[in-house]
């Protein structure tokens, strides 16, 4: 009998509810070390000039840094932010707060780790390479689906590949789940990021790593996704349910892994800069052979929500670009092992991946 089961950190504290964002000041008060150790708020620049900004509880020398989510987080971007924060303040900040979708949540996680660890964030991409605990970090999702609010990873584009800093120190200390913050998410973005959650569930529930822990969360998240994307909920209920679906979807991955769509979408995004949510959808549409039921449901969701996926995304790629894409994808070993089992290399090859990419 195996007794070395993984011992996972969880988000220590979580608030859920409409308007809970206004409790941020009260939540941060006990975290503040002194007047010179600020709280730094990394905020999606989509909120610049909106009513959300005056609600951010700034005191002392706290700082807001607006960041565009146009591009997904990069290791050199994280390193630059850490240099800026170190040069702006005499003390290590009391905490980092990330406000936004998966992009801002991941940046907040990575910056909080790099404020206490040496070197470049690129050196910590991988599994359990972080040596020192991060500083306090708090996540406020404004877009739901990635599960970045609960996961123990922060996915970064590095010089060599797109890979997470997976560690026990990555997980947020606190998360504030306020469904009202999802008001105003563009419909197409809502769908693509929501599908990230749906695809997490399908890949986790159909993976070889599945156990009862992952299954319990995955099944709940899948049920919520069906209600949100195939049911007739009012908008307020849909926001609450997608927020909880994302949470459960992320929890489901803790003991399991994602699968074929994620492995292939990482290649797509490395070569073409395609964003995570849409990249997953582009790939998933062609994976009926791996996830027949999931792909059928996915097609129903596309139709019900009037979404037309972009076509011919890979039509102009060179041989070298296809090669890179395939190599990046195949390097995601745990994802393939989860999807296809220990002998995954016997079940998939470069030609197979090439034929799927060509359809996208």
Q: Which does 178 bind (CB under 5 to 8 A by kind): Zn ion, ligand NAD, none?
A: none
Q: In the set 125, 146, 174, 204, which binds ligand NAD (CB under 6 A)?
A: 146
Phi-psi region of 64 (alpha: psi -120 to 50; beta: other; left: phi over 0): beta
Query: And the tokens for 292?
Result: 């027949």
Part of the chain binding ligand NAD (CB under 6 A), chosen from 53-61, 139-147, 207-215, 328-336? 139-147
Q: In the set 75, 103, 166, 329, which binds ligand NAD (CB under 6 A)?
A: 103
- Sketch the per residue contact string, 153 through 192, with ligand NAD: x for CB under 6 A, - otherwise: xxx-------------------------xx-xx---x---
* Contacts by residues 118-123 (CB-CB < 8 Å, ≥ 24 positions apart): 120/75, 120/76, 120/79, 121/75, 121/78, 121/79, 121/82, 121/156, 121/158, 121/165, 122/75, 122/76, 122/156, 122/158, 122/159, 122/160
Q: How far is the CB of 242 from ligand NAD (least distance, A)?
A: 11
- Sketch the per residue contact string, 260 through 279, with ligand NAD: x for CB under 6 A, - otherwise: ----------------xx--
Q: State the Cα–Cα distance between residues 290 and 295, nearest whole angstrom.
A: 9
Q: How far is the CB of 347 from ligand NAD (least distance, A)?
A: 25
Q: How far is the CB of 232 from Zn ion (least distance, A)?
A: 26
Residues 71, 193, 183, CA angle at the centre, nearest 5°?
A: 100
How do strand 162-166 and strand 155-157 relate by DSSP bridges? antiparallel
Structural contact between residues 164 and 154, judged by C-beta atoms closer than 8 angstroms = yes
- Sketch the per residue contact string, 14 through 53, with ligand NAD: x for CB under 6 A, - otherwise: ------------------------------x-x-------
What Å distances lie between residue 20 and 141, 148, 179, 191, 358, CA to CA?
Answer: 12, 19, 9, 24, 46
Q: How far is the CB of 239 from ligand NAD (least distance, A)?
A: 10
Q: State the Cα–Cα distance between residues 281 and 191, nearest whole angstrom.
A: 10
Q: In the set 57, 147, 179, 267, which binds ligand NAD (CB under 6 A)?
A: 147
Q: Which does 197 bind (CB under 5 to 8 A by kind): ligand NAD, Zn ion, none?
A: none
Q: Which does 44 bind (CB under 5 to 8 A by kind): Zn ion, ligand NAD, none?
A: ligand NAD
Structural contact between residues 69 and 104, judged by C-beta atoms closer than 8 angstroms = yes
Identify residues 65-84 at the interface with ligand NAD (CB under 6 A): 69, 72-73
In this structure, the dihedral spanned by the alpha carbons of residues 112, 68, 329 and 195, taken in order and rounded to 10 degrees, is 100
* Rounded (to 5) percent helix, strand, coil in the chain: 50, 10, 40
Q: In the set 106, 203, 240, 337, which binds ligand NAD (CB under 6 A)?
A: 106
- Sketch the per residue contact string, 327 through 356, with ligand NAD: x for CB under 6 A, - otherwise: ------------------------------
- Sketch the per residue contact string, 145 through 184, with Zn ion: x for CB under 5 A, - otherwise: ----------------------------------------
> Is the Cα torsion angle 111, 142, 307, 202 positive or negative in sign?
positive
Question: DSSP letters of 256-308?
Answer: S---HHHHHHHHHHHHH---HHHHHHHHHTT-TTT-HHHHHHHHHHHHHTT--
Residue 196 found at the interface with Zn ion (CB under 5 A): yes
Q: In the set 37, 85, 148, 340, which binds ligand NAD (CB under 6 A)?
A: 148
Backbone phi, then psi, for 318, in 5-degree steps? -85, 165
Q: Which does 325 bind (CB under 5 to 8 A by kind): ligand NAD, Zn ion, none?
A: none
Sites of contact with ligand NAD (CB under 6 A): 44, 46, 69, 72-73, 100-104, 106, 142-143, 146-148, 151, 153-155, 181-182, 184-185, 189, 193, 196, 276-277
- Can you give the binding site for Zn ion, defined by CB under 5 A? 196
């Amino acid at each position: 009998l195996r007794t070395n089961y993984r011992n996972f950190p969880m988000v220590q504290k979580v608030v859920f509810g409409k308007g809970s964002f206004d409790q941020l000041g009260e939540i941060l008060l006990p975290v503040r070390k002194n007047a010179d150790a600020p709280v730094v708020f990394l905020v999606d620049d989509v909120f610049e000039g909106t009513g959300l900004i005056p609600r951010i509880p700034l005191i002392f020398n706290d700082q807001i840094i607006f960041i565009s989510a146009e591009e997904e987080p990069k290791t050199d971007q994280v390193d630059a932010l850490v240099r800026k924060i170190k040069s702006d303040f005499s003390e290590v900040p009391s905490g980092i707060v990330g406000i936004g979708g998966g992009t801002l949540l991941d940046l907040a996680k990575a910056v909080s780790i790099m404020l206490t660890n040496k070197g470049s964030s690129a050196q910590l991409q991988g599994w359990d390479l972080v040596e020192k605990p991060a500083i306090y970090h708090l996540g406020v999702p404004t877009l739901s689906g990635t599960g970045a609010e609960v996961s123990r990873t922060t996915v970064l584009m590095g010089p060599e590949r797109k890979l997470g800093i997976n560690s026990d120190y990555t997980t947020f200390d606190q998360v504030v789940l306020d469904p009202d913050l999802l008001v105003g998410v563009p419909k197409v973005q809502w769908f693509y990021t929501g599908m990230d959650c749906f695809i997490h569930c399908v890949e986790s529930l159909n993976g070889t790593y599945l156990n009862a822990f992952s299954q319990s969360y995955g099944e709940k998240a899948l049920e919520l996704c069906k209600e949100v994307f195939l049911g007739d909920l009012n908008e307020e209920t849909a926001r609450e349910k997608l927020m909880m679906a994302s949470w459960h979807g992320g929890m489901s991955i803790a003991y399991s892994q994602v699968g074929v769509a994620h492995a292939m979408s990482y290649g797509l995004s490395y070569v073409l800069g395609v964003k995570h949510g849409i990249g997953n959808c582009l790939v998933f549409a062609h994976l009926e052979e791996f996830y027949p039921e999931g792909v059928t449901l996915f097609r129903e969701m596309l139709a019900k929500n009037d979404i037309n996926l972009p076509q011919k995304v890979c039509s102009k790629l060179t041989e070298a670009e296809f090669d890179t894409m395939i190599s990046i994808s195949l390097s995601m070993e745990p994802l393939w092992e989860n999807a296809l089992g220990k002998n995954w290399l016997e079940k998939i090859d470069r030609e197979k991946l090439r034929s799927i990419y060509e359809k996208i």
